[in-house]
Amino acid sequence: MKRALPRVFTRNSGKSDGVLMNVEDRRVKRTQRLLAKALITLTLEKGYDVVTIRDITERADVGYATFFRHYHDKDELLEDVLDVVLAEMLELLLPANGADPAAMGTLIFRYVGEHSEVCRVLTGSMPLTRKLITLGTQSVRGDTLPQAASIVPPEIVAHHIVASSVALIQWWLEHDMPYPPERMGAIYAALIVQPTGATALSG
Amino acid sequence: MKRALPRVFTRNSGKSDGVLMNVEDRRVKRTQRLLAKALITLTLEKGYDVVTIRDITERADVGYATFFRHYHDKDELLEDVLDVVLAEMLELLLPANGADPAAMGTLIFRYVGEHSEVCRVLTGSMPLTRKLITLGTQSVRGDTLPQAASIVPPEIVAHHIVASSVALIQWWLEHDMPYPPERMGAIYAALIVQPTGATALSG
DNA sequence: TTCGATATGATATACAATATATCATAAGAT
DNA sequence: ATCTTATGATATATTGTATATCATATCGAA
Domains, chain A, ordered by start: 26-72 (1.10.10.60), 81-201 (1.10.357)
Q: Using the beta-carbon criterion (under 8 Å), do A191 and B129 form an inter-chain contact?
A: no
> Quick check: helix, strand or coil at residue B20?
coil
Q: How many CA atoms lie within 13 A of B174 on its CB side?
A: 15
User: What pLDDT shows up at residue A6?
Assistant: 44
Proximity of residue B46 CB to strand C below 7 A: no
- Crossing angle (nearest 10°) for helices B126-143 and B154-174: 130
Can you give the pTM of this predicted structure?
0.90
Burial of B21 (0-12, 13-18, 19+ CB in 10 A): middle
pLDDT at B24 over 70: yes
Contact A173, A123 (CB under 8 A): yes
**Is a pLDDT exceeding 80 seen at residue A2?**
no
Question: What mean pLDDT comes out for the span B173-181?
Answer: 98
Mean pLDDT for the stretch of residues A7-34: 73
- pLDDT, one tens digit per residue, over B41-86 is 999 999 999 999 999 999 999 999 999 999 999 999 999 999 999 9
Find and list the nucleotides of strand D having atoms within 7 Å of a protein beta carbon: 5-11, 15-21, 26-29
Q: 73-132 in B: which are within 8 Å (CB) of A?
A: 124-126, 129
Rounded to whole angstroms, the Cα distance separating A75 from A71 reads 9
pLDDT of A17 > 60? The answer is: no
First-to-last C-alpha distance (Å) of chain B? 65
Report yes or no: B157 and B193 within 8 Å, Cβ to Cβ.
Answer: no
Q: Residue A103 corresponds to which amino acid?
A: A
Q: Environment class of residue B102 by beta-carbon count within 10 Å: exposed (0-12), middle (13-18) or buried (19+)?
A: buried
Residues of chain A with pLDDT > 90, as a percent, come to 80
With beta carbons less than 8 A apart as the criterion, state whether A82 and A132 touch. Answer: yes
Out of A151, A170, A195, closest to residue B199 by CB: A195
